[in-house]
């Protein structure tokens, strides 16, 4: 998010609780008993939870909670996306996984980014867009539209973090703790280690 919009959205003052989510799931961990070796594990999402000044790292197997698994991976992927519209859509996909009740403003922006304005038909969506943007089209060449877009993006990111944190705390019995994030390995890391003769 552009720095000048971080203050507007409140992101600059917000401490994210779910940190370092990986954009790719991992299927191996470094072996504790056999240094240099990798052990296969169920496909899992890797993430960190902030605990004061410390960050604790965990794995969540996909089989234990497919929705939370997907939300973590999508959150990791949106952090790598530099295109603002795609970033919002990726954040919204994570939001779909964890939000039981979705705020109409967040939903309306997603519809406006995904559909032609002439195809928007829900009265609540149209009303929300008119309230935020003065019409049903989001024109990011207009400064006022940019301001509102980034305000909603910040809101979505913070809402996602709160919802994901709460859901992960409730599901904590399903986690596998890691000594550090680098103990988790994606398939690409395992393939590279195998190619180097390390695994």
Distance CA 58, CA 70 (A): 15
pLDDT, tens digit, for every residue of 58-90? 999 999 999 999 999 999 998 777 778 999 999
Half-sphere exposure of 105 (CA within 13 A, CB side): 13
High-pLDDT (> 70) share of the chain, %? 91
The C-alpha angle with vertex 3 and arms to 76 and 91, in degrees rounded to 5, equals 30
Distance CA 123, CA 100 (A): 21
pLDDT, tens digit, for every residue of 88-98? 999 999 999 99
Residue 193 domain-assigned? no
Residue 197 domain-assigned? no
Give the helix/strand (H/E) hosting 53.
Answer: none
| 67 compared with 9, residue with greater pLDDT | 67
Please give the tally of structural domains in the chain. Answer: 1
pTM of the model: 0.86
How much is the pLDDT for 108? 97
Residue 132 to residues 7, 119, 148, 150, 196, Cα–Cα distance (Å): 18, 18, 7, 12, 54
Residue 198 domain-assigned? no
Q: Is the pLDDT score of 129 beyond 80?
A: yes
Provide the β-strand partners of residue 59.
Answer: 46, 176
Residue 195 domain-assigned? no
Q: Which two tokens stand for residue 69?
A: 């698994």
Give the helix/strand (H/E) hosting 19.
Answer: strand 18-19
Q: What residues make up the domain containing 100? A: 3-187
């Amino acid at each position: 998010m552009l720095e000048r919009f971080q203050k507007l959205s409140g992101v600059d003052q917000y401490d994210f609780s779910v940190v370092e989510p990986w954009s790719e799931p991992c299927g191996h961990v470094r072996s504790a008993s056999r240094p240099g070796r990798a052990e296969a594990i169920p496909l899992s999402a890797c993430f960190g939870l902030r605990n004061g000044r410390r960050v604790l790292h965990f794995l969540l197997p996909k089989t234990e909670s497919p929705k939370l698994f997907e939300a973590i991976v999508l959150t990791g992927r949106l952090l790598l996306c530099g295109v603002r519209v795609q970033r919002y859509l990726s954040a919204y996909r994570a939001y779909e996984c964890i939000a039981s009740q979705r705020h109409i403003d967040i939903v309306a922006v997603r519809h406006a980014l995904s559909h032609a304005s002439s195809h928007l038909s829900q009265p609540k969506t149209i009303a929300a867009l008119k309230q935020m943007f003065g019409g049903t089209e989001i024109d990011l060449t207009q400064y006022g539209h940019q301001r509102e877009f980034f305000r909603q993006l910040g809101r979505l990111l913070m809402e996602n973090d709160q919802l994901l944190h709460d859901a992960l705390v409730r599901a904590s019995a399903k986690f596998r703790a890691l000594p550090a994030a680098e103990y988790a390995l994606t398939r690409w890391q395992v393939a590279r280690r195998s190619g180097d003769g390390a695994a």
